[in-house]
């Protein structure tokens, strides 16, 4: 099974129409990867679908970087009993 980081990067690439190798842990979704307002919402929706979780809206939308998203999703998965590959 792919790791959380790989799955987050893959989902990000699909939503933002980027190549996987363009996406780094330290990248900001908005500043570096160019996510616009509606794309930020689409990203969160995609993460929820990918991992089968529900995220708190304001908290999820305030996550700035790919690395922080990986940590946040890992934490939510643990809280909601969803097993993931770290």
Partner 1 sequence: MNEVKKQHPLVDAEEPNLLEDTFPYSLPPLIRFKGPVVEYIDGEAVEFDFGAVKDRDILITDTTFRDGQQARPPYTIDQMVHIYDLLSRLGGPNGVIRQTEFFLYTKNDRETLDRCRALGHKYPECTGWIRAVKGDFRLVREAGLKETGILTSSSDYHIFHKLKFRSRAECMDRYCEIVEAAFEAGVRPRCHLEDVTRADIDGFVLPFVDRLMEMSSQVPEELSAKIRLCDTMGFGISYPGAELPRSIPKLIYKLTHECGVPSDRLEWHGHNDFHKVHTNAGTAWLYGCGFANTTLFGFGERTGNPPLEGAIFEYIALKGDLCGIDTMAITELANYMRSIGLPIPENYPFVGKAFNTTRAGIHADGLRRDEQIYNIFDTEKLLDRPPRVAITDKSGTDGLVHWINEFFGLKGDVRINKIKIHKLARWVLDQYDEHGRLTAISDQELEAKTKELMPDYWQKYKGG
Please give the residue ranges that form the binding site for partner 1 (CB under 8 A): 37-38, 41-42, 44-45, 48, 55, 57, 60-61
**Cβ nearer to partner 1, comparing 45 with 77:** 45
Indicate the SS3 state at residue 85. strand
What is the C-alpha separation between 1 and 24, in angstroms, rounded?
20
DSSP string, 39-70: HHHHHHHHHHHHHT----HHHHHT--BHHHHH
What is the C-alpha separation between 83 and 86, in angstroms, rounded?
9
**Cβ nearer to partner 1, comparing 6 with 49:** 49
Q: How far is the CB of 45 from partner 1 (least distance, A)?
A: 4
**Cβ nearer to partner 1, comparing 25 with 34:** 34
Q: How far is the CB of 3 from partner 1 (least distance, A)?
A: 23
């Amino acid at each position: 099974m792919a790791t959380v980081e790989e799955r987050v990067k893959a989902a990000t690439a699909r939503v933002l129409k980027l190549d996987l190798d363009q996406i780094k842990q330290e990248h900001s979704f908005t500043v570096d990867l160019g996510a616009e307002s509606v794309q930020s919402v689409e990203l969160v929706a995609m993460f929820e679908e990918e991992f089968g979780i529900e995220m708190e809206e304001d908290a999820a939308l305030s996550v700035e970087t790919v690395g922080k998203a990986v940590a946040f999703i890992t934490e939510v998965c643990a809280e909601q009993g969803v097993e993931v590959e770290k």
